Amino acid sequence: MSERLMRRALALAARGLGRTSPNPAVGAVVARGDVIVGEGFHRRAGEAHAEPIALGHAGEAARGADLFVTLEPCCHHGRTPPCTEAIIAAGIARVFFAMRDPDPRCAGGGEAALRAAGVAVEGGLLQAEAGRLLAPYVKHRRTGLPLVTLKLAMSLDGRIATRTGDSRWITSERARRLVHTMRDRADAVMVGVGTVLADDPALTTRGVPGGRDALRVIADRGARTPATAQVVVQESPARCVIAAGAGASPERVRALRAAGAEVLALPATETGVDLRALAMVLGERGVLSVLLEGGGRLAWGALAAGMVDRVALFYAPIIIGGADAVPAVGGLGVERVADALRLSEMTVTHVGPEWLVEGAIEGVGR
């Protein structure tokens, strides 16, 4: 019974992904026995947290009831009052939470405050599941950096475009719909300027009920993104950020800013913008999750910089061939197989005619 109720809280929390940053996506359920009498989830930063919403729905039925919440209730004043105060005032008898809050302002303090008020507390219920859901929040609180997922769609022989640059469409409509769901749940979507010049993508979220656009980020050392590119001029509540090198053409920078883009002046490396510096800027702005969609050179640059935490690789049942076709991961690569980046926590899922391989990059700090 307890696991069923916590799974409901996790499902509610997932509805806030991509919308609550820099806060975590949290869900809560109030139950009397196995009957749910109130539930809620955090919708966006600055608004009510999951616990007060669920308690409000439950009303007087919350007195003596159990509360299931995906993250340890907060005990500090932010834009909203501490959730521990609302829980105590509502007369909740027991609190079950999935994982402890890594935020140093809480980090066990919520549990302690509840126990001091006579509320029974049990932590760790479905902790692994909650950890996967909250991985971007956990990494951000521990490192100040967003969690980065590298998404690539390729042929079975690892090509993302033919020798002429043609890439539409390597994967099926079903796989592309799933990518839009990924965008909907990410705080930011990032590509390299090569992808912008070759494909002119909008990087918006389409076909997702209730979907929203993520922040669009272009890694573009020379500010070569056209001021007329879709990613710049597309009507969207989400901003477009061009991460340019400090030495980029002032004229190009002015044109991009005049078109509505924000242009950052960041340190540059031999191969492009300093991606670690870019990650720091995004983290400072409260971006918890980034969906990195390529192209090949940016993919290798991010991998080599240790910026990528997870991968989502779509393999289409086609073979493109050709030494001049565009590889999914470009750059120099490693010199020895022993130095190759390795995956753990791997899963393989059938998505329409494609296979989706997901996993974590071993050795990347979280």
Q: What is the pLDDT of residue 275?
A: 95
Q: Decide if 253 is inside a domain.
A: yes
Q: Decide if 323 is inside a domain.
A: yes
Domain assignment of residue 187, given as a range: 138-361
Q: Decide if 237 is inside a domain.
A: yes
Q: What is the pLDDT of residue 273?
A: 94
Q: Decide if 317 is inside a domain.
A: yes
d(C-alpha 243, C-alpha 220), whole Å:
6
Annotated catalytic residue 51: yes
d(C-alpha 269, C-alpha 277), whole Å:
11
> Is the CB of residue 192 less than 8 Å from the CB of residue 218?
yes
Question: Distance from first CA to last CA of the chain, Å, rounded?
Answer: 32
Predicted confidence (pLDDT) per residue in 249-306, tens digit = 999 999 999 999 999 999 998 888 999 999 999 999 999 999 999 889 999 999 999 9
Are 122 and 228 in the same domain? no
| Domain termination site, one of 77, 100, 133 | 133
Are 252 and 345 in the same domain? yes
Q: What is the pLDDT of residue 364?
A: 61
SS3 call for 119 = coil
Are 45 and 179 in the same domain? no
Q: Decide if 310 is inside a domain.
A: yes
Are 66 and 114 in the same domain? yes
Are 241 and 349 in the same domain? yes
In whole angstroms, how large is the CA radius of gyration of the chain? 22
Are 285 and 306 in the same domain? yes
Q: What is the pLDDT of residue 209?
A: 93
- What is the CATH classification number for the domain harbouring 314? 3.40.430.10
Based on the structure, what is the number of domains in the chain? Answer: 2
Are 236 and 146 in the same domain? yes
Containing H/E element for 162? none
Given 3, 39, 47, 51, the catalytic residue: 51
Cα 94–Cα 99–Cα 105 angle in degrees, nearest 5:
95
Are 153 and 124 in the same domain? no
| Domain termination site, one of 110, 133, 156 | 133
pTM over 0.85: yes
Are 221 and 168 in the same domain? yes
**Residue 68 corresponds to which tokens in the numbers above?**
């299931």
| Domain termination site, one of 133, 155, 187 | 133
Residues of the chain falling short of pLDDT 70: 364-366
Are 154 and 177 in the same domain? yes
Q: Decide if 366 is inside a domain.
A: no
Q: Decide if 169 is inside a domain.
A: yes
Are 128 and 161 in the same domain? no
Question: Which amino acid makes up residue 194?
Answer: G
Q: What is the pLDDT of residue 366?
A: 44
According to DSSP, residue 335 is labeled S
Are 282 and 178 in the same domain? yes
What are the angstrom distances between the C-alpha of 357 and each of 32, 147, 178, 349, 354? 41, 18, 13, 7, 10
